[in-house]
Amino acid sequence: MGKVKFKGKFSYRLKSYLAISAISLDVIWRRIWQRPIAKDWSIEFEIGVLFIRHQYNRAFEFQKISDGREYFDSLIPSTGEKFAVSSYLSAPNEPEGNWHIANGKKRELTALYLHGGGYAFNPEISSNFAEMLAGLLNVNLFMPNYRLTPEHSHPAQLEDALVAYHFLLEQNIDPSKLIIIGDSAGGHLALMLLLELRRLKLPQPALAIGLCAWTDIGERGKSFYGNDNYDLVQGYMALRFGEWLIGNTSYNKEQLSPIYQDFTKVAPIYLQGGGREILIDMISDFAKTIKDQGAEVALDVWPNMVHDFQMHGMTHVDSVEAFERIREIIAIKTGDGGAMSSCLRTEIN
């Protein structure tokens, strides 16, 4: 968290500033007395985790989700890194969203990025991450602004993701040079999109990448509450997000959870997770389940990391390593082909 940006109402900005100041003082004080949350975390990393957690908790307290979203975005932390990326809004005849083009030139590879935020938030940190992905992966990246919950329950998000994928195919993008990337709820959406493409008999992408993907919208595993003390997302939040995704529809949790679906005959799936995030048990269970189905899947886990740790870009050693792996897997699946390689972080392959 090398840089912060303020946005929106002054009262929200002030409260967020006071919150991050109090969190910073508390972290420093506990460090003096040798009581960090995790000894292997830096002061800056711990402050960042606790601040994002605070912003989510505070956002959930608002009666209107729109106010919660505005509060969440009132103070936006970033790594402060600069990437050689040209970013612009989609054209009127395109799905609503943003393009991020590495080095300002059309690349050979295209990525459809489905942002996280529990389906209820589209925070500016996701836009920053989209720019980071385009720059570090050297791709043309399109990030659609899919409809959010609780105003729009399932299948609105899936419909919007499908429209975006259709649009990319209509641009004569070769599916063998097209990848889908999603983090958190965006990872859930990426997985559900693969199933929808198979149902509609549309071309699969070369690869689907789930970064800390939400694979079960119910409770699953000891980590779901056991890692609350570490993670920036809490178990109760995930359950609320799941309730909003179902909304007033007749769908149930099993129907909307990737872990209960059949993933045979879909694109290869590469997953990353943090050992200290609440979702890690469900991510691991999902990878094992679809591997037993015969799907091509690989899972890498960074034991000391939390949810969406990849957003630290080139400023944290684990995130650097995670991006190296993403680039490696993309090169394999969009190049000469072959099975996804393994590394010291690989738990399932």
Which tens digit of pLDDT belongs to each residue from 284-293?
999 999 999 9
Task: Identify the structural domains of the chain with CATH numbers, from first to last.
Answer: 3-78 (no CATH), 85-348 (3.40.50.1820)
Over the stretch 184-204, which tens digit does the pLDDT of each residue have?
999 999 999 999 999 999 999
Task: Indicate the pLDDT class of residue 111, thresholds 50, 70 and 90.
Answer: very high
Over the stretch 299-323, which tens digit does the pLDDT of each residue have?
999 999 999 999 999 999 999 999 9
Task: Answer whether residue 32 shows pLDDT above 90.
Answer: yes
Instruction: Give the pLDDT score at 337.
Output: 84
**How confident is the prediction for the chain on average, in pLDDT?**
96
Task: Answer whether residue 2 shows pLDDT above 80.
Answer: no
Question: Taking residues 142-167, what's their average pLDDT?
Answer: 98
Instruction: Give the pLDDT score at 1.
Output: 61
Instruction: Give the pLDDT score at 306.
Output: 98
Q: Is residue 345 a contact partner of residue 325, using CB atoms and an 8 Å limit?
A: yes
Instruction: Give the pLDDT score at 318.
Output: 98
